Structure 1
Amino acid sequence: MSEANEPTGQKIEDLTLEDIMGDRFGRYSKSIIQERALPDIRDGLKPVQRRILFSMNKDGNTYEKAFRKSAKAVGNVMGNFHPHGDSSIYEALNRMSQDWKVREPLIEMHGNNGSMDGDPPAAMRYTEARLSKIASEMLQDIDKDTVDMVLNFDDTEYEPTVLPARFPNLLINGATGISAGYATNIPPHNLGEVLDALDYLIMHPNASLDSLMQFVPGPDFPTGGIAQGKDGIRKAYETGKGKIVVRSKTRIDDLRGNKQQITVTEVPYEVNKAQLVKKIDEIRLLKKVEGISEVRDETDRNGLQIAIELKRDADANGILNYLFKNTELQVNYSFNMVAINHMRPEHVGLKTILTSYLEHQSDVVTRRTKYDLKKALDRQHIVEGLIKALSILDQVIKTIRASKNRRDARDNLVAQYEFSERQADAIVALQLYRLTNTDVTELQREHDSLAKQIEEDQRILEDPKELRKVLRRELKAIAKEYRNPRRTEIQDEIAEIQIKTTVTVPDEQVVVMVSRDGYLKRSGVRSYNASDPEDNGLKDEDFSIFTAELSTLDHLFMFTNKGNLIYRPIHEIADAKWKETGEHISQMIGLAGDERILKTFAFKSLNETGAFVIATNDGYIKQTSFADLTPGRSYRSKAMTYEKLKSDGAEVVAIDYVTADQETTEQVLLMSYDGLALRYPLEEVSTSGARSTGVKSMNLGDEDYVVNMQLVHDDDTVALMTQRGAFKRMAVSEIPETSRARKGVIVLRELKRDPHRIVDFIRLVGNSPVEVLTSRKKTHDILPTDHSESSRYSNGSFVIDVDTEGTPVSLRIKPIDLVLS
Structure 2
Amino acid sequence: MKRSYLDYAMSVIIGRALPDIRDGLKPVHRRILFSMNEMGLQFNRPTRKCARVCGDVLGKYHPHGEGSVYDALVRMAQPFSLRYPLITGQGNFGSVDGDPPAAMRYTEAKLSKIAGQLMDDLDKETVDFKPNFDETEQEPEYFPTVVPNLLLNGSSGIAVGMATNIPPHNLTEVMKGLIAMVDNPKITLPEMLQLITGPDFPTGGLILGRQGIYDCYTRGRGSIKMRAKAFTEKLGKDRESIVITEIPFQVNKAKLITDIAALVNEKKIDGISDVRDESDREGMRIVLELKRNEHPEVILNQLYKMTQMQMNFGAIMLAIVNGQPRELGLLDILKHFIEHRAEVVRRRTDFLLRKARDREHILLGFKKALDNLDRIIELIRAAKNPREARDGLITEFEFSDRQAQAIIELQLQRLTGMEQQKILDELAEIQRRIAEYLEILGSEKVLRALIVKEFQEVLDTFGDDRRTEIIEDTGEINIEDLVQVEDVAVTVTRGGYLKRTTVDTYRRQTRGGKGRIGMGTRAEDVVEHLIIASTHDYLLIFTSKGRVYWLKVYNIPDAGTVGKGKNINGLINLQPDEEVKAFLPVKQFTADRFIVMVTKYGVIKRTELTDFSNPMARGIIACTLDENDELISAKISNGQNQIFLASREGMAARFGEEEVRSMGRQARGVTAMKLEKDDYLISAEVVDESALMLAISENGFGKRTKLTDYRHSGRAVKGVINMKVTNKTGKVVATMPIKEDSDVMIITKDGQIIRIESMKIRQSGRSAQGVKLVDVNEGDKVASAGAIPESDEHQPDDAQGSLLKD
TM-score (norm 2): 0.71
1:529 aligns with 2:524: yes
Whether contact under 8 Å (2:582, 2:632) holds in the other structure is no
Aligned counterparts of 1:356 and 1:96: Cα–Cα separation in 2: 24
Match of 1:112 among 92, 105, 122: 92
Per the TM alignment, residue 150 of structure 1 is displaced from its structure 2 partner at its CA by 0.5
1:404 Cα offset (Å): 2.9
Alpha-carbon deviation of 1:34? 0.9
Which residue of structure 2 aligns with residue 151 of structure 1? Answer: 131
Aligned residues of 1:510 and 1:525 also touching (Cα < 8 A): no
Structure 2 match to 1:631 = 613
Match of 1:766 in 2: 723
In the TM superposition, what whole-angstrom CA distance separates every residue of 1:502-556 from its partner, at most 9, and x where no partner exists?
99xx98733389xxxxxxxxxx99899389x9xxxxxxxxxxxxx8477999934
What is the aligned partner in structure 2 of residue 603 from structure 1?
584
Over residues 215-249 of structure 1, what are the superposed CA-to-partner deviations in whole Å (9 max), with x where a residue is unaligned? 11101111111101201100001111111211111
- Please give the root-mean-square deviation of Cα atoms over the aligned residues, in Å: 4.5
Is 1:171 the counterpart of 2:151 in the alignment?
Answer: yes
Summarize deviations over 1:740-776 as a string: whole Å, max 9, x none. xxxxx9x9xxxxxxxxxx8555575424689xxxxxx
Any idea what the Cα deviations from partners look like across 1:181-235, whole Å, max 9, x if unmatched? 1211111100010000000101111111111111111011111111012011000
1:358 to 334, 338, 343: 338
- Any idea what SS the aligned residue of 1:142 has? coil
Partner of 2:185: 205
Q: Which residue of 2 aligns with 1:271?
A: 251
CA contact (8 A) 1:510 1:550 kept: no
Tell me, yes or no, if the aligned pair for 1:669 and 1:709 is still in contact at 8 Å.
yes
2:657 pairs with 1:657 = no
Counterpart residue number, 1:227: 207
Shift of 1:291: 2.7
* Equivalence for 1:309: 289
- 1:550-592 per-residue CA deviation (whole Å, 9 max, x = no partner) reads 7999934449999x9664679896589xxx993369xxxxxxx
- Within-5 A mapping of 1:72-221: 72-221=52-201
Are positions 1:482 and 2:477 aligned together?
no
- State whether structure 2 residue 429 is matched by structure 1 residue 445: no
Paired residue total? 643
Deviation at 1:405, TM superposition (A): 2.2
Contact 2:710 2:720 in 1 (8 A): no
Q: Which secondary structure does the structure 2 equivalent of 1:35 belong to?
A: helix
CA contact (8 A) 2:29 2:72 kept: yes
Q: Hey, what does 1:471 align to over in structure 2?
A: 451
Shift of 1:612: 3.9
Q: Is the 8 A contact 1:558 1:567 kept in 2?
A: no
The answer to whether structure 1 residue 394 and structure 2 residue 374 are counterparts is yes
In structure 2, C-alpha distance between the alignment counterparts of 1:560 and 1:761, rounded to whole Å? 24
Are 1:289 and 2:283 matched, yes or no? no
Structure 1 residue 555 corresponds to structure 2 residue 539? yes
1:656 to partner: Cα distance: 6.2
Instruction: Decide whether the 8 Å contact of 1:714 with 1:733 is kept in 2.
Output: no
Rounded Cα–Cα distance in structure 2 between residues aligned with 1:477 and 1:392: 46
What letter matches 2:524 in structure 1? N
* Greater CA drift, 218-227 or 319-328: 319-328
Distance change >3 Å, CA 509–CA 688, structure 1 → 2? closer
CA drift of 1:490 comes to 0.7
Q: CA offset at residue 495 of structure 1? A: 4.3
Does structure 2 conserve the Cα–Cα contact (< 8 Å) formed by 1:96 and 1:102? yes
Q: Find the aligned partners of 1:654 and 1:261 in 2 and give their Cα distance.
A: 42
Task: Please tell me the residue identity of whatever aligns with 2:613.
Answer: P
State the partner residue of 1:701: none
SS of 1:216's equivalent in the other structure is coil
Deviation at 1:59, TM superposition (A): 1.2
Q: Which residue of 2 aligns with 1:244?
A: 224
1:510 correspondence with 2:467: no
The DSSP-based 3-state class of the residue aligned with 1:287 is coil
Kindly indicate whether the alpha-carbon contact (under 8 Å) linking 2:490 and 2:530 is maintained by their aligned counterparts in 1: no
Q: Displacement of 1:278 after TM fit?
A: 1.5
Q: Where do residues 536-575 of structure 1 align in structure 2 (5 Å cutoff)?
A: 548=529, 555-558=539-542, 567=550
Displacement of 1:281 after TM fit? 2.1
Does structure 2 retain, via aligned residues, the 8 Å contact 1:144–1:371? yes
Letter in 1 for 2:583: A
Q: Any idea what SS the aligned residue of 1:105 has?
A: coil
- Kept after mapping to 1: 8 A contact 2:529/2:784: no
Matches for 1:635-650 after TM superposition, within 5 Å: 635-636=616-617, 639=620
Distance (whole Å) between structure 1 residues aligned to residue 397 and residue 276 of structure 2: 87
Tell me if the contact between 1:199 and 1:475 (Cα under 8 Å) persists in the aligned partners. yes
Q: Using the alignment, how far apart are the partners of 1:112 and 1:529 within structure 2?
A: 59
Q: Indicate how the Cα distance of structure 1 residues 764 and 478 shifts in structure 2: closer, same or farther if over 3 A, else same.
A: farther
Where 1:583 maps in the other structure, the secondary structure is coil
1:700-719 to 2 correspondences below 5 Å: none
Distance 2:109 2:337 in 1: 28
Partner of 2:384: 404
- 1:120 & 1:321 partners in 2: Cα distance? 32
Contact in 2 for aligned 1:241/1:336 (Cα 8 Å): yes
Counterparts of 1:5-84 in structure 2, within 5 Å, are: 20=1, 22-84=2-64
**Partners in 1 of 2:75 and 2:115 — Cα distance?**
14
Please state whether the residue corresponding to 1:162 is helix, strand or coil. coil
How far apart, in 2, do the equivalents of 1:709 and 1:285 lie? Answer: 42
Structure 2 equivalent of residue 583 of structure 1: 577
Q: Which amino acid aligns with 2:342?
A: S
1:67 to 1:733, Cα distance in 2 relative to 1, 3 A: closer
* 1:81 Cα deviation from its structure 2 partner: 0.8
Q: Against the structure 1 CA distance between its residues 603 and 709, is the aligned structure 2 distance closer, same or farther, given a 3 Å change threshold?
A: closer
- 2:368 aligned counterpart, secondary structure: helix
Q: Distance in 2 between matches of 1:129 and 1:191?
A: 23
Deviation per CA, 1:7-62: give whole Å up to 9, x if none. Answer: xxxxxxxxxxxxx2x21111111111111111101100000110111111111111
With over 3 angstroms needed to count, the CA separation of the structure-2 counterparts of 1:237 and 1:679, relative to structure 1, is same
**Structure 2, unaligned runs of 5 or more:** 484-488, 497-518, 557-565, 599-603, 625-630, 646-652, 668-683, 694-706, 726-730, 733-765, 768-779, 786-806
> Aligned equivalents of 2:544 and 2:279: distance in 1?
57
Separation in 2 of the partners of 1:56 and 1:709? 84
User: What displacement does 1:635 show?
Assistant: 2.6
> Aligned-pair distance for 1:283?
2.6
Structure 1 pair 191/575, CA: closer, same or farther in 2 (3 Å)? closer
Cα displacement (A) at 1:368: 0.1
Paired residue secondary structure (1:333) = strand
Contact 1:613 1:655 in 2 (8 A): no
Q: Whose RCO is larger (CA < 8 A, sep 6+)?
A: 2
- Tell me by how many angstroms 1:302 deviates: 1.0
Range with greater deviation from structure 2 (129-138 or 708-717) = 708-717
| Corresponding position of 1:783 | none
Partners of 2:419 and 2:26 lie apart in 1 by: 50
CA contact (8 A) 1:512 1:550 kept: no
**Distance of aligned partners of 1:70 and 1:224 in 2 relative to their CA distance in 1, 3 Å threshold:** same
CA distance in 2 between counterparts of 1:355 and 1:561 reads 68
From the superposition, tell whether residues 763 and 76 of structure 1 become closer, same or farther in structure 2 (CA, over 3 Å). farther
CA 1:548–1:715 in 2, change beyond 3 Å: closer, same or farther?
Answer: closer
